[in-house]
A = this chain, B = another copy of it.
Amino acid sequence: MFVLNETLEADTVHLADWPLCRVLLMNDATYPWLILVPMREGLRDFHDLAAADKPLAMAEIDRVSLALQAIHGPDKLNVAALGNMVPQLHVHVIARFTTDPAWPGPVWGKVPARPYDGAALEETLARLRQAFDAAQ
């Protein structure tokens, strides 16, 4: 049975459950930052994905990437499965800008998370869900 890691649960807001992944918004308004968590038990590394799930993973990474691209027109998208802190397999998809506080370095550990305020959070979730529908 799939249970979301509690750190991921605490740091994110739920957006959707897709065929393979739970889609989460990182609660950090510094970067447009989504996280995909394959809803399978016991996965750690990217290559642990079952053969049948690999095309789904690619399709769902594409879908969040296209949504972030459509909304934000970033300078670059970062896609990464690191998992040094949280062992449960999860894939970051982050819209990066040459003007963001971590550029050109990676975002992790650079500046403290800045949680969305209530209105901005609702608006962000709504825009993302709309962009996901368009990127289907």
Which residues of chain A have a CB within 8 Å of any CB of chain B?
44-47, 54-55, 57-58, 61-62, 65-66, 69, 76-85, 87, 96, 103-106, 108-109
CB distance from A118 to the nearest CB of B (A): 31
Partner of A79, one of B46, B62, B96, B109: B46
* Closest-CB distance, A75 to chain B (whole angstroms): 8
Number of copies: 2
Contact, CB under 8 Å: A82 / B80? yes
Q: Is B62 a contact partner of A58 (Cβ separation < 8 A)?
A: no
Measured between beta carbons, the chain B residues less than 8 angstroms from A46 are 61, 65, 77, 79
Selected from B57, B61, B104, the residue in CB contact (under 8 A) with A47 is B61
Q: Which residues of B contact A58 (CB under 8 A)?
A: 54-55, 57-58
Q: Identify A104's interface contact among B66, B84, B106, CB under 8 A.
A: B84
Q: When chains A and B are docked, how far (Å) is the Cα of A55 from the Cα of B53?
A: 11
Known: A47-B77, A55-B54, A61-B46. A108 touches B109 (CB 8 A): no
Q: In whole angstroms, what is the CA distance A19 to B81 when docked?
A: 23
Shortest Cβ gap from A4 to chain B (Å): 19
In the complex the two chains form, is A65's CB within 8 Å of B77's CB? no
